[in-house]
């Protein structure tokens, strides 16, 4: 697990970071009618100050206002941003590897040797290639064989191929998660908002480096778009483990018909019971192959973006 903590200390936000609610704030009176912004006395009603607020300038480069919530129970209907303050934790679990090395091109080359006696010892022999189909056995001298032996014509082989299945990468999480909830505040004039004294309201910017007057509580907040996420997984394949264990069925007639007879004596196959002529054989190579898969977790998360400058009116 990757847990990125930029500072050892943990910021305790003021109790004023209340839940976002329904993203609305009761108006404080709006722009004065018939008077200067914030001065009160107009025909339209009380001024911002008369209603317990303060008129704060929202200069170019800033957006908002928002209410900031880090309780984990925000109910915003309109989110301005989600992330973590720089002094808090950004959590990214390691990728989970799903790749597997699979067996391909497996071969188990087998050769059969036919003998004129029932114990695979006669000097009268005939060699033939075995396939996973019915094989008519060759004559040995002037007679059909009484026994056969199955040999490896060559070493069994197989390739191990990575299936390249994608790693499972869990979403980045923030601890605590900080949510900026859009709110509607009255305006004192163009670019000037009426900020209530109750509750905490913030503005934010992706370009500015200094907070406007009146918004003196300063934070840097990082979002997912500020984070370079390279978490992944690598698979490597070992050599294939392969074994051949032939299973042989013997028949008295050709084309794998007639009486079925099976006998295995130290890899020598002959008619069961009294020695009898063999006409055909059906061979299953009994191949078993597997590949070892080794996985390695790679990558991490790094903050590469500038983040948001979040400025709050205390």
**Whole-model pTM above 0.75?**
no
Q: Please tell me the predicted confidence (pLDDT) of residue 63.
A: 92
What is the rounded average pLDDT of the residues 12-17?
31
How high does pLDDT run on average in the chain?
81
Give the rounded percent of residues in the chain with a pLDDT score beyond 90.
42
Q: Please tell me the predicted confidence (pLDDT) of residue 46.
A: 76
- List the one residue out of 205, 207, 230 whose CA is nearest residue 219: 205
The answer on pLDDT for 109 being more than 80 is: yes
Q: Please tell me the predicted confidence (pLDDT) of residue 37.
A: 37
| pLDDT band with cut points at 50, 70 and 90 for residue 90 | very high
| pLDDT band with cut points at 50, 70 and 90 for residue 45 | low
The answer on pLDDT for 102 being more than 70 is: yes
Q: Please tell me the predicted confidence (pLDDT) of residue 266.
A: 63
pLDDT tens digits, residue range 152-199?
878 899 999 999 999 999 999 999 999 999 998 888 988 888 988 877
Q: At 226, give phi and psi (nearest 5°).
A: -90, 0
Higher pLDDT, 291 or 13: 291
What is the rounded average pLDDT of the residues 232-244?
93
What is the rounded average pLDDT of the residues 266-287?
80
Tokens of 289: 């192959």
Question: How many angstroms separate the CA atoms of 1 and 251, rounded?
Answer: 62
Could you give all domains of the chain from N- to C-terminal order, each with its CATH number? 2-96+167-231+300-313 (no CATH), 101-163+235-294 (2.60.20)
The answer on pLDDT for 239 being more than 90 is: yes
Among 87-91, 138-142, 155-159, 205-209, the range scoring the smallest mean pLDDT is 138-142
What is the rounded average pLDDT of the residues 301-314?
92
Q: Please tell me the predicted confidence (pLDDT) of residue 250.
A: 87
Question: How many angstroms separate the CA atoms of 56 and 262, rounded?
Answer: 98
| pLDDT band with cut points at 50, 70 and 90 for residue 263 | low
Q: Please tell me the predicted confidence (pLDDT) of residue 53.
A: 87
| pLDDT band with cut points at 50, 70 and 90 for residue 17 | very low
Q: Please tell me the predicted confidence (pLDDT) of residue 264.
A: 62
Question: How many angstroms separate the CA atoms of 241 and 131, rounded?
Answer: 21
Question: Do residues 186 and 201 lie in contact, with contact meaning Cβ atoms separated by under 8 Å?
Answer: no
| pLDDT band with cut points at 50, 70 and 90 for residue 308 | very high
What is the full DSSP assignment across 185-248? --EEETTEEEEESSS-EEEEESS-SSPPTT--EEEEEE-GGGEEE--EEEEEE-PPEEEE--EE
Question: How many angstroms separate the CA atoms of 310 and 284, rounded?
Answer: 73
What is the rounded average pLDDT of the residues 219-226?
96
Q: How many CB atoms lie within 10 A of CB 26?
A: 10
């Amino acid at each position: 697990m990757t847990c990125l903590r930029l500072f050892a200390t943990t910021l305790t936000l003021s109790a004023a970071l209340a839940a976002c609610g329904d993203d609305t704030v009761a108006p404080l009176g709006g722009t004065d009618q018939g008077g200067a912004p914030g001065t009160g006395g107009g025909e339209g009603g009380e001024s911002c100050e008369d209603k317990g607020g303060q008129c704060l300038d929202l200069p170019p480069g800033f957006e908002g206002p928002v209410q900031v919530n880090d309780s984990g129970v925000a109910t915003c209907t309109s989110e301005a941003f989600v992330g973590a303050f720089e002094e808090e934790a950004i959590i990214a679990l390691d990728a989970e590897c799903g790749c597997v090395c699979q067996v391909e091109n497996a071969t188990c080359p087998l050769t059969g040797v036919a003998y004129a006696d029932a114990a695979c010892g006669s000097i009268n022999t005939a060699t033939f290639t075995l396939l996973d189909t019915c094989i008519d056995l060759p004559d040995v001298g002037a007679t059909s064989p009484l026994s056969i032996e199955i040999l490896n014509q060559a070493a069994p082989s197989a390739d191990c191929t990575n299936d390249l299945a994608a790693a499972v990468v869990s979403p980045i999480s923030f601890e605590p998660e900080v949510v900026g909830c859009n709110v509607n505040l009255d305006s004192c004039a163009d670019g000037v908002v009426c900020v209530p004294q109750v509750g905490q309201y913030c503005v934010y910017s992706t370009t500015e480096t200094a907070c406007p007057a009146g918004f003196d509580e300063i934070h840097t907040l990082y979002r997912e778009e500020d984070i370079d996420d390279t978490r992944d997984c690598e698979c490597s394949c070992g050599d294939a483990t392969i074994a051949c264990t032939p299973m042989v069925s013997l028949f008295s007639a050709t084309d794998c018909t007639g009486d079925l007879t099976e006998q295995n004596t130290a890899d020598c196959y002959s008619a069961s019971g009294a020695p009898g002529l063999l006409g055909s054989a059906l061979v299953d190579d009994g191949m078993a192959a597997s590949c070892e898969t080794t996985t390695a977790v790679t990558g991490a998360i790094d903050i590469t973006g500038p983040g948001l400058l979040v400025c709050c009116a205390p």
